[in-house]
Structure 1
Amino acid sequence: MERKLDIAGMTCSTCEAKVKKALLGVEGVKSAQVSHATGTAFIKGKTLPSDKDLKQAVEKAGYALRKEKFPWGFIGLLTGAIVVFFATQSLYGSLTFDPTNTEVTLGLVVAYGLVSSLHCIGMCGGIAFSTSVSAQVKNPMRRVWQYQSGRILSYTISGIVLGMMGKVFTISPMFTNILLLVAGLWMIFLSLTMVKLIKVNLPEFNFIKGKSDRGPFFIGLLNALMPCGSLQTMQVMALGSANPLLGGGIMLVFGLMTAPSLISMQWLGARINAINGRRIQIVAAVLVALMGIQMTLRSPIVAAPLNDLVMNLTGQKTMAPVVDGYQTVNLHLDRGTYVLDYAAVKAGIPVKLTFSWEGITGCTNPVNLTFINRMVDIKKNPEPIIFTPEETGKLEIVCWMDMVRTYLYVN
């Protein structure tokens, strides 16, 4: 077992030595690492001593063991962040644009980056969180800056490369979907190791698991490959600039504007990591697992067959009725979800797809109808879309950020 202690009164290396000696003198402590710079000590042992014994040992050495205080400031900040998150969700619709036709301005990139940073919590927040919560370190902020520097560097390099190319270039959707799935599964695995349900040593993956000082930096470097709609929108803008300096600048500014939200997730991980106790570690593991499950289910590799299974088990593949020669289906947008009133149509018969929405649409608007390669802004142009499905299968309907999706089945 390992535990972190906050020690008050240390000012030099001599203090470190005194505290270390005092801690090692307590029954159950097998090793101790002490830092006067951070005012912390990490102790290890099979069965760690009680707070009372530790406090007596530290005070006998002339120092004080700080008591844990209820983090009212943290609770207030988190509450405020949640309020801001839901309040600004409605801005997604008003700040969407066609990156191939819109003139690039600094103000546009800054505004888009700030609003998209909320989306970043859903896409990459779990990864950022795990870089701080998965390892005991003396200086957690170092891991924060390492991850952010790797992420922003990868964004900037991708902008430079795309600006140099000046032509259509995309990473294979299958590759990004696999990357998303692997990241989600790894976070689930990590959560199981955090609560000791799985005990496996993988030295070759230490930089991913967080044991290496450079681990967060390498993880950040992979962020430019994530299948994130807002990120890919900026990359298309960098591509359209046909200028490596402008392309790199666009991605650099976008990376800086999305940093605050991800830093907050890393800070949350560091705060949880700093609190002692088995229960807190279980809470941290649950959070990592939930984010990993969310990321895994977001990958179409898992989402598509799972959706098929749910539809078959619940019998929700209700055929759309034919009205005036058209199979009529309505897509309803409500609080960040897609709801089809009918989930199945017949091949060879025209389909009239209508739209409706209420409340905050979040990233669900505009809607990407991938089967006809068309983006529809429901708020600005809610006119029905008419098409004729020629083959059986399923038609994907996904949000412009590639986060929310549903399927229309063709029989």
Structure 2
Amino acid sequence: MNEAISLIGAFSAGLLGGVHCVGMCGGIVGALSIASPGARPAARLPMLFSYNSGRLLSYGVAGGLFGALGQLSLPLQQVQLMQSVLAVVAGIMMLLLGLYIGGWSRVLRHVEIVGGYFWRLIEPLGRGLLPVRNPLQGLLLGMLWGWLPCGLVYSMLIWALASGSAINGALLLLAFGVGTLPNLLATGLFANRFVSFVQQPRMRTVAGLMLIAFGVYTLSRAVF
């Protein structure tokens, strides 16, 4: 049951964090849509699905690695204690993310800046795949995009670290990735109209408050 609740929670975090995803990745999705053949939104779907499939694949790999790291880094008798500690950290990260998306704190922005140093090593690889002309290129570019520095993803990776196994960590990140799909697919299909809607202060406030509530729930599960 705990695993099911965690997967639902990760999916919800991806869905609610869509405001942040659109802000971080909207330009990338927009560029892909321009490169996609056909003027109608439906004509862009194959490219968008290949792109996002690559992104989810990277999330699953990262989640599996962090889950395995959490499983192997401690003696068995200390695993449960460390999982509780990391669950508290994950809850705090969700609180910070809610504050960040709502525009009330920029602490996570500094975390993303640190991750940006790693991204600079990967980003040049993506330039060789532009412009994207076929789904295979979209898949490969999406796999690179999955490593874009993002406070929301980092929160999920900490959660994966506390998940207890590589499989649980991978499933957690995949559930999160699926939760981000509606917002990013809508961005690719409807471009500026959807981005403008999602980026409204009211939408950011609602998403921020819901993520804060989710962070409080995560903390309560870890503490009680």
- Regarding TM over 0.5, the answer is yes
- Show structure 1 runs of 5+ residues with no match: 1-102, 187-203, 273-286, 288-334, 337-358, 367-376, 378-411
Following superposition, the deviation at residue 143 of structure 1 comes to 0.3
2:26 aligns with: 125
Structure 2 residue 156 is the aligned partner of structure 1 residue 234 = yes
Alignment correspondent of 2:15 = 114
Amino acid across the alignment from 2:170: G
Match of 1:176 in 2: 116
Q: Of residues 140, 163, 185 in structure 1, which corresponds to 2:67?
A: 163
Amino acid at match of 2:30: F
Question: Quick check: 1:217 aligned with 2:133?
Answer: no
- Between the aligned partners of 1:207 and 1:146, the Cα distance in structure 2 is 14
Contact map agreement 2:7 2:171 (CA 8 A) in 1: no
Closer, same or farther: CA 210–247 of 1 in aligned 2, 3 Å: same
Query: What is the deviation of 1:140?
Result: 2.4
TM-fit CA distance, 1:229: 1.1
Change in CA separation of 1:159 and 1:112 when aligned onto 2, cut-off 3 Å: same
Task: Give TM-score scaled by structure 1 length.
Answer: 0.33
1:142 corresponds, among 46, 50, 74, to 46
C-alpha RMSD of matched pairs (Å): 3.9
What is the Cα deviation at residue 242 of structure 1?
2.7
Q: Distance in 1 between matches of 2:174 and 2:164?
A: 16
Written as runs of structure 1 = structure 2, the 5 A alignment for 1:8-407 is 105-136=6-37, 139-166=43-70, 167=73, 174=114, 176-177=116-117, 179=119, 205=127, 207-269=129-191, 360=205
Measured in 1, the distance between the counterparts of 2:174 and 2:65 equals 13
User: How much does 1:205 deviate?
Assistant: 4.7
Q: 1:180·1:226 contact (CA, 8 Å) conserved in 2?
A: no
Structure 1 pair 143–361 and aligned structure 2 pair: CA distance change class (3 A): closer
CA 1:108–1:213: 2 relative to 1, 3 Å:
closer
State the AA in 2 paired with 1:230.
L
Deviations 1:302-357 (A, max 9, x none): xxxxxxxxxxxxxxxxxxxxxxxxxxxxxxxxx69xxxxxxxxxxxxxxxxxxxxx
Deviation digits for residues 219-263 of structure 1 (CA, Å, limit 9, x no counterpart): 211233222111110111001113111101101110101101000
Between structures 1 and 2, the one with greater helix share: 2
Question: Do the aligned residues in 2 keep the contact of 1:152 with 1:255 (CA within 8 Å)?
Answer: yes
CA distance in 1, matches of 2:116, 2:139: 20
Gaps in structure 2 of 5+ consecutive residues: 74-85, 87-110, 196-200, 217-224
Q: Compared with structure 1, are the counterparts of its residues 212 and 124 closer, same or farther at alpha carbon in structure 2 (3 Å cutoff)?
A: same
Change over 3 Å in CA distance of 1:109–1:182 after alignment to 2:
closer
Cα distance in 2 between the residues matched to 1:363 and 1:226: 21
Bigger Rg, which one: 1
| Superposed CA offset, 1:379-400 (max 9, x none) | xxxxxxxxxxxxxxxxxxxxxx
TM-score, with structure 2 as normaliser: 0.58
Does structure 2 retain, via aligned residues, the 8 Å contact 1:162–1:242? no
Deviation at residue 135 of structure 1 after TM alignment: 4.5
Matched length? 159
Structure 2 CA distance, aligned partners of 1:206 and 1:105?
37
- Cα pair 1:208 1:216 within 8 Å, conserved: no
* Higher RCO structure (Cα 8 Å, ≥6 apart): 2
Flag the 1:117–1:127 CA change in 2: closer, same or farther, 3 A.
same
**Taking every aligned residue pair, what percent have the same amino acid on both sides?**
25
| Larger strand share, 1 or 2 | 1
Supply the distance in 2 between the matched residues of 1:152 and 1:210 (Cα, whole angstroms).
18
Displacement of 1:108 in angstroms is: 1.9
The answer for the alignment partner of 1:20 in structure 2 is none
Aligned equivalents of 1:126 and 1:172: distance in 2? 17
Distance apart, 1:177 and its partner CA? 4.3
CA distance in 1, matches of 2:44, 2:172: 29
Structure-2 separation of matches of 1:360 and 1:258:
18
> Alignment partner of 2:49: what SS?
helix
- Partner Cα distance (1:247, 1:267) in 2: 30
